[in-house]
Structure 1
Amino acid sequence: MEPVYRTLEIAAHALVRAQGMRLDVADADKIPATGGAVIAINHTSYVDFLPAAIGVYRGGRRCRYMIKSEMMDNPLVRFLITHTHTVPVDRSAGAEAYAQAVENLRQGFVVGVYPEATISRSFELKDFKTGAVRMAQSADVPVVPCIVWGAQRQWTKTGDQVGGSTRDMGRSHIPVMVRFGDPIDCPGDAVTETARLKSVMSSMLDDVRSTYGHHPPGAHWVPASMGGGAPTLAQARVIEEQDDERKAQLRAARARDEHKGSH
């Protein structure tokens, strides 16, 4: 029954109702009814994990995510992680998280992974990391592609501003679409299979966007390729590099302060 996870499910559905979110989930029956599976999700928002998880729930399964290990610093979040088979990821030592995720898959859990690793400011698919495919191969389970569209209207990174974000988490009745693709077995090398996964998800993303409805010209959440105000992939890459440098400077400053404090 997993009472902690069940409590989170109730809270998630309550949040969707409170927001008036117009959640449209399709093809959740493509998620295997039993056994492990990797759910590969495009990443456009800080909150796209929620509609994806509800989509998995409607398919009769529960999704376990991989999240930043820094979240363990919060006692409440640490409790939730410990009791929901969530996998904390320390990017400086990712092997342990990878091994734990593979073990979860072997035990029959569904594990949610973002192949892009970080939010796409352009809302196009960024380059994919091979981790999702390698996990599936190690555990001998399929990868199920998942596209979430519309969650970037709720809370995402500001496209052209380093370190900024835009948020609309009130009762805005924002439509959010979730689509699942056919399970993919990955018998080839990880790079080739990752490229195949990205190609499948790219076609799915095109289909979802074509049926989503109105994409206002110039809107911050609409890709540049569709006449929106988001940066292009190339422009977003430059902004992300600047953001990475900013974060590195902050980490270095904290390390210096901690070093001074210890003397």
Structure 2
Amino acid sequence: MRDIVYPPVVLTAKTLFKVLNFKFQMTGTEHIPRSGAAVLAVNHVSYIDFVLGGFGAQPSKRLVRFMAKEAIFRNRIAGPLMRGMHHVAVDRGAGSASYREALRLLGEGEVVGVFPEATISRSFELKEFKTGTVRMAAAAGVPVIPMVLWGTQRIMTKDHPRDFSRGKTIAITVGEPITVTREDDPTEATTHLRTTMAGMLDRTIRAYPEIEQPPGSWWLPASYGGSAPTPEQAEILDQEELRRRTERG
């Protein structure tokens, strides 16, 4: 696939990371294959997760094609960039077209990035996973590579102001490939993926610098002593957001 837009965007992002003095904790990036197709499953805590998730594939010199909501593609600035990087627009009302496009990219040997939670987690713990991630991998005959991001929520997430202050730690943890076949039960395979990523998230949170996430921090899950909403409280907030969006039409 010809990439004209993606490389300069990556260079710009890396320059910005240096300006912001991000400190990266990256483990397991060798699990992302240097060639061949794979589905990259990433947790979702921030609006910029696709940027940092893509950065996690850079040690393997891969460009990830993320599946992202269609509204981003309608933005006059972000839209041309998203299309130029060959990301996949997802219309939640008609997802079959985006699914077929993702399968086409996998068939061409690309790495396709997916957020199994579908939306940002306000609790910063894992939400329930959709089965589409493992179904796609099984249909394409490719592995699922689990990835966990941590610290990105401190920069730009729901219900909090943007914070581009310097010196934040960004943790990126990549797990071993998970094989999924057409014979596997999608629900069981999805549960296995979520359990695997929950363990990765726990280890990543515990390895994160304590000085950057003291007890009571809004970006730290309640179960870890933070003041983020519990998963139950976050679900209520999600439902309220959905109601407001529906009322707006």
Range into which the TM-score falls when normalised by the shorter chain: over 0.9
In 1, are the aligned partners of 2:73 and 2:83 still within 8 Å (CA)? no
Matches within 5 A, 1:181-260: 181-187=175-181, 188-214=184-210, 215-251=213-249
Q: TM-score, normalised by structure 1?
A: 0.89
Unmatched 5+ residue regions in structure 1?
159-164, 252-263
How far residue 77 of structure 1 moved from its aligned partner, in angstroms, is: 3.1
Deviation at residue 78 of structure 1 after TM alignment = 3.3
Count how many residue pairs are aligned between Structure 1 and Structure 2.
244
SS of 2:149's equivalent?
strand
Aligned to 2:55: 54
1:259 is aligned to: none
- Aligned CA distance change for structure 1 residues 72 and 185 (closer, same or farther; 3 Å): same
Residue-by-residue CA offset, 1:223-245 (whole Å, 9 max, x unaligned): 00011110100111011101110
The offset of 1:68, in angstroms, is 1.5
**SS of the counterpart of 1:156?**
coil
Bigger CA radius of gyration:
1
TM-aligned CA deviation for residue 22 of structure 1: 0.9
**How many percent identity over aligned positions?**
40
Question: Structure 1: which amino acid aligns with 2:167?
Answer: H
Query: Structure 1 residue 26: deviation in Å?
Result: 1.7
**What is residue 125 of structure 2 aligned with on the other side?**
124
Unaligned runs of 5+ residues in structure 2 are none
- Alpha-carbon distance, 1:58 to partner: 1.4
Q: Distance in 2 between matches of 1:95 and 1:26?
A: 34
How far apart, CA to CA, are the structure 2 residues paired with 1:71 and 1:49?
12
State the alpha-carbon separation in 2 of the partners of residues 70 and 156 from structure 1.
17
| Alpha-carbon separation, structure 2, partners of 1:208 and 1:82 | 32
Distance 2:80 2:232 in 1: 40
Q: Secondary structure at the match of 1:111?
A: strand
- Partner in structure 1 of residue 67 of structure 2: 66
Displacement of 1:72 in angstroms is 2.6
Whole-angstrom CA distance in 2 between matches of 1:6 and 1:124? 32
Is 1:99 the equivalent of 2:93? no
Per the TM alignment, residue 76 of structure 1 is displaced from its structure 2 partner at its CA by: 3.9
